[in-house]
């Protein structure tokens, strides 16, 4: 993806050379990419409409002519659907550019690239987009609904990665997420869920630390007895909370409880 268009800024710079304007009274129709792009948030449309009234139009809507969605060549919004609706609300003409998209893979890559430098897309939006193309993302979305974990933590576990963090974020956005040894890692998720039921409620930092250390502990303990561990953990809740306050202490506690 990086070899085609380096950044979203460069993309718009090239696209603006061929900008067109859509009149609200014209016959051209733009369609939405349901199931790939995120759902439209009316509140966001309202904010953009107010911003447009103060600052004017700052970028065009990006359109692709696709035939692989419904079998007919039609124009689809791949970026700027909130701006599109805000401009309709204001009754203004809509600036747009048409880009070439060769395949569904290329489509999702371009959508992800256009949103990579923006905070408007959440990690869940990326997962939804790639789910239209890749089965591993469909499964990730399913497990996200089953297990009460942040999606990057969940993805790291399903990939067999104990670190998570920024690297997992980049992998998810780029469409490179792959589930490794699914049965084993789902077992780890089930054990983790049991563990989190036993310990007192934690803040976000403590929770992330506990998840990381427990998964690392499970992967490095071949003779792990889940029932015995949970029973001992239940009797040592206070020690557990103290251990979450200092890096490295949880791994020592887990070893003692195994």
CA-based R_g, the chain, Å: 23
Contact 199, 240 (CB under 8 A): yes
Instruction: Provide the pLDDT for residue 19.
Output: 85
Q: What is the pLDDT of residues 110-148, one digit of tens each?
A: 887 776 655 567 888 888 888 888 899 999 999 999 998
Question: From CA 1, how far away is CA 174, in angstroms rounded?
Answer: 8
Question: From CA 65, how far away is CA 166, in angstroms rounded?
Answer: 34
Cα angle 221, 223, 228; round to 5:
100
Q: What is the pLDDT of residues 173-182, one digit of tens each?
A: 888 999 999 9
pTM above the 0.75 mark? no
H-run or E-run covering 202: none
Question: From CA 153, how far away is CA 161, in angstroms rounded?
Answer: 9
Q: What is the pLDDT of residues 167-224, one digit of tens each?
A: 898 899 888 999 999 999 999 999 999 999 998 888 888 888 899 999 999 999 989 9
Q: State the pLDDT confidence band at 9, using cuts at 50, 70 and 90.
A: low
In angstroms, how far is CA 237 from the centroid of its own chain? 33
Looking at the chain, the domain(s) classified CATH 3.90.1530.10 span: 1-119
Closest by CA to 40, choosing from 89, 84, 99, 87, is 84
CATH assignment of 1-119, given 3.30.420.40, 3.20.20.70, 3.10.20.340, 3.90.1530.10? 3.90.1530.10
Q: For residue 218, what are the contacts with CB-CB under 8 A and spacing of at least 6?
A: 188, 191, 192, 224
H-run or E-run covering 77: strand 74-79
Q: Helical H runs in the chain? A: 8-15, 42-55, 81-90, 104-116, 123-131, 135-146, 151-158, 166-174, 182-198, 204-219, 226-235, 237-243, 249-257
Q: What is the pLDDT of residues 59-82, one digit of tens each?
A: 889 999 988 877 888 899 988 888
Q: State the pLDDT confidence band at 7, using cuts at 50, 70 and 90.
A: low
Asked whether the predicted pLDDT for residue 94 surpasses 60, the reply is: yes
Question: From CA 106, how far away is CA 132, in angstroms rounded?
Answer: 12
């Amino acid at each position: 993806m990086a070899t085609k268009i380096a950044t979203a800024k460069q993309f718009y710079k090239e696209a603006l050379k061929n900008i067109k304007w859509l009149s609200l009274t014209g016959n051209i129709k733009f369609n939405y990419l349901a199931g790939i792009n995120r759902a439209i948030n009316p509140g966001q449309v309202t904010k953009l409409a107010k911003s447009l009234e103060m600052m004017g139009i700052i970028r065009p809507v990006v359109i692709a002519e696709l035939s692989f969605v419904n079998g007919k060549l039609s124009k689809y919004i791949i970026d700027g659907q909130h701006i599109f609706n805000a401009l309709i609300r204001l009754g203004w003409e809509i600036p747009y550019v048409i880009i070439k998209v060769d395949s569904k893979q290329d489509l999702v890559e371009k959508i992800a690239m256009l949103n990579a430098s923006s905070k408007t897309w959440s990690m869940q939006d990326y997962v939804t987009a790639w789910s239209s193309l890749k089965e591993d993302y469909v499964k990730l979305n399913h497990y996200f609904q089953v297990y009460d974990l942040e999606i990057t933590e969940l993805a790291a576990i399903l990939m067999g990665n104990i670190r998570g963090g920024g690297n997992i974020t980049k992998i998810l956005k780029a469409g490179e997420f792959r589930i490794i040894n699914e049965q084993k890692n789902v077992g780890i998720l089930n054990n983790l869920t049991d563990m989190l039921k036993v310990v007192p409620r934690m803040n976000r930092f403590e929770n992330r630390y506990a998840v990381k250390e427990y998964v690392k502990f499970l992967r490095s303990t071949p003779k792990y007895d889940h029932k015995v561990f949970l029973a001992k953990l239940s009797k040592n809740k206070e020690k557990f909370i103290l251990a979450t306050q200092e890096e490295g202490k949880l791994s020592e506690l887990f070893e003692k409880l195994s």
